[in-house]
């Protein structure tokens, strides 16, 4: 068991290299072992590209050795034809000796079918090795499949005395440069980023990735009555952007206006994103919008920076009903991470 965990841990490390590039597919890593030696490795690198098992198999110099090898994979091998052929069939074709799986796939297209293909071919299968770690790594994927909505991450920065902005709604800069760089890393890892009308109006954020290397997320803004001016950065056409409102549905270049019903709920927005196969959303404010997610209990994770700055008065920071799971120091800032389970 300890040996299995060691190789599976390596597979999880490999899977992480795909973060930000494989959605709406899951993160998957694969390690191939023969005679207690790793002979092949691979991970799912890009959506539409070869899966982890394919890359791992292709990295093995002598394919004949696969017949006496054990394959460690973080997620059940796929059994359906999508953008690529089924990985379960590939492992059968290569006549591998054994397959060790961390987590089974709850996608209805797979749902045990990959394991069934392997077993029917006489391949030994073992599951549940580092399953908890694998599900946590792919919590975005599993949330979308099982809860039929994107994984929601709330993020804000607050002062020592509990404010996210001054009375005039200005907030630059509560957190330090290291904390802000981390936020850009997060943006590169998620499918979409969402702000409310006041944040777009008073902060005029670009909502792109500047202080990190990675793709820009889909930009989302809620402007119910279409009161925001078109010269704001969020409407600069540089990045695909969706404006949720109650007035019109229209597309102009990179900007799409999506009309929702009057007095729409947060769930309606998430339903639209689910249809678009958006796997995760980073909600960056403001306080009113963040509180809506908290009140609706439609959030999965919160990342809260607290600085030593004091405003004395202003817009109060949201309050979470649970305690932080983890606290990390970023110079003088503290990052608290919460998981809503």
What does the pLDDT look like over 255-304, one tens digit per residue? 999 999 999 999 999 999 999 999 999 999 899 999 999 999 999 999 99
Question: CATH 3.40.430.10 in the chain, residues?
Answer: 149-339
3-state SS assignment for residue 292: helix
Q: Is 159 labelled a binding residue?
A: no
What does the pLDDT look like over 49-99, one tens digit per residue? 999 999 999 999 999 999 999 999 999 999 877 777 899 999 999 999 999
pLDDT exceeds 80 at position 10: yes
Domain 1-143 adopts which CATH fold?
A: Cytidine Deaminase; domain 2 (3.40.140)
Q: What is the DSSP string of 183-217?
A: HHHHHHHSSEEEEEHHHHHHH----S--SSSSPPP
The reply to whether CATH 3.30.70.890 applies to domain 149-339 is no
pLDDT class for 122, splitting at 50, 70, 90?
A: very high
Q: Is 157 labelled a binding residue?
A: yes
Q: Is 34 labelled a binding residue?
A: no
What does the pLDDT look like over 234-256, one tens digit per residue? 999 999 999 999 999 999 999 99
Q: In Å, how far are 155, 231, 233, 285 from 293, measured between CA atoms?
A: 11, 28, 25, 10
Q: Is 149 labelled a binding residue?
A: no
Active site residues: 53
- Structure token digits, residue 322: 């649970």
> What pLDDT, on the 0 to 100 scale, is given for residue 80?
75
> What pLDDT, on the 0 to 100 scale, is given for residue 171?
72
- Neighbour count for residue 213 (Cβ, 10 Å): 9
> What pLDDT, on the 0 to 100 scale, is given for residue 2?
84
Question: CATH 3.40.140.10 in the chain, residues?
Answer: 1-143
Q: Is 187 labelled a binding residue?
A: yes
Q: Which pTM does this prediction carry?
A: 0.94
> What pLDDT, on the 0 to 100 scale, is given for residue 84?
72
pLDDT class for 1, splitting at 50, 70, 90?
A: low
> What pLDDT, on the 0 to 100 scale, is given for residue 61?
93
Q: Is 87 labelled a binding residue?
A: yes
pLDDT exceeds 80 at position 306: yes
Query: 97-117: string of b/e by CB count within 10 Å (b at 16+)?
Result: ebbbbbbbbbbeebeebbbeb
Inter-residue contact 50 to 34 (CB < 8 Å): no
What does the pLDDT look like over 168-223, one tens digit per residue? 887 767 889 999 999 999 999 999 999 999 999 999 999 999 999 999 999 999 99
What does the pLDDT look like over 307-341, one tens digit per residue? 999 999 999 999 999 999 999 999 899 999 999 98
Q: Is 78 labelled a binding residue?
A: yes
pLDDT exceeds 90 at position 145: yes
Q: Is 173 labelled a binding residue?
A: yes
Q: Is 203 labelled a binding residue?
A: yes
3-state SS assignment for residue 327: strand
- Structure token digits, residue 221: 């803004």
> What pLDDT, on the 0 to 100 scale, is given for residue 170?
76
pLDDT class for 107, splitting at 50, 70, 90?
A: confident
């Amino acid at each position: 068991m300890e040996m299995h965990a060691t190789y599976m841990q390596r597979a999880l490390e490999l899977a992480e290299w795909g973060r930000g590039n494989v959605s709406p597919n899951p993160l998957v890593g694969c390690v191939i072992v023969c005679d207690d030696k790793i002979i092949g490795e691979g991970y799912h690198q890009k959506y539409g590209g070869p899966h982890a098992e394919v890359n791992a198999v292709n990295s093995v110099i002598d394919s004949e050795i696969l017949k006496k090898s054990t394959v460690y994979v973080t997620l059940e091998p796929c059994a359906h034809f999508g953008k690529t052929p089924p990985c379960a069939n590939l492992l059968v074709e290569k006549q591998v000796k054994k397959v060790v799986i961390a987590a089974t796939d709850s996608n209805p297209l797979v749902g045990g079918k990959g394991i069934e293909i392997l077993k029917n071919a006489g391949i030994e299968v073992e599951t549940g090795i580092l399953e908890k770690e694998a599900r946590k790594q792919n919590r975005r994927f599993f949330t979308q499949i099982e809860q039929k909505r994107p994984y929601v991450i709330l993020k804000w920065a607050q002062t020592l005395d509990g404010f996210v902005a001054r009375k005039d709604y200005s907030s630059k800069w509560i957190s330090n440069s290291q904390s802000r760089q981390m936020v850009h890393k997060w943006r590169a890892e998620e499918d979409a980023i969402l702000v409310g009308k006041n944040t777009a109006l008073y902060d005029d954020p670009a909502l792109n990735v500047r202080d990190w290397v990675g793709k820009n997320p889909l930009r989302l803004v809620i402007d119910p009555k279409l009161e925001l001016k078109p010269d704001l950065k969020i409407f600069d056409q540089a990045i695909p952007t969706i404006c949720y409102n109650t007035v019109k549905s229209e597309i102009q270049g990179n900007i799409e206006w999506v009309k929702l019903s009057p007095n729409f709920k947060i769930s309606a927005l998430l339903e639209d994103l689910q249809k678009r196969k958006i796997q995760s959303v980073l909600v960056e404010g403001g306080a009113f919008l963040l509180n809506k997610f908290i009140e609706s209990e439609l959030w999965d994770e919160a990342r809260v920076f607290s600085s030593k700055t004091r405003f004395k008065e202003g817009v109060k920071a949201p309050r979470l009903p649970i305690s932080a799971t983890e606290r990390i120091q970023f110079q003088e800032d503290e990052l608290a991470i919460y998981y809503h389970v």
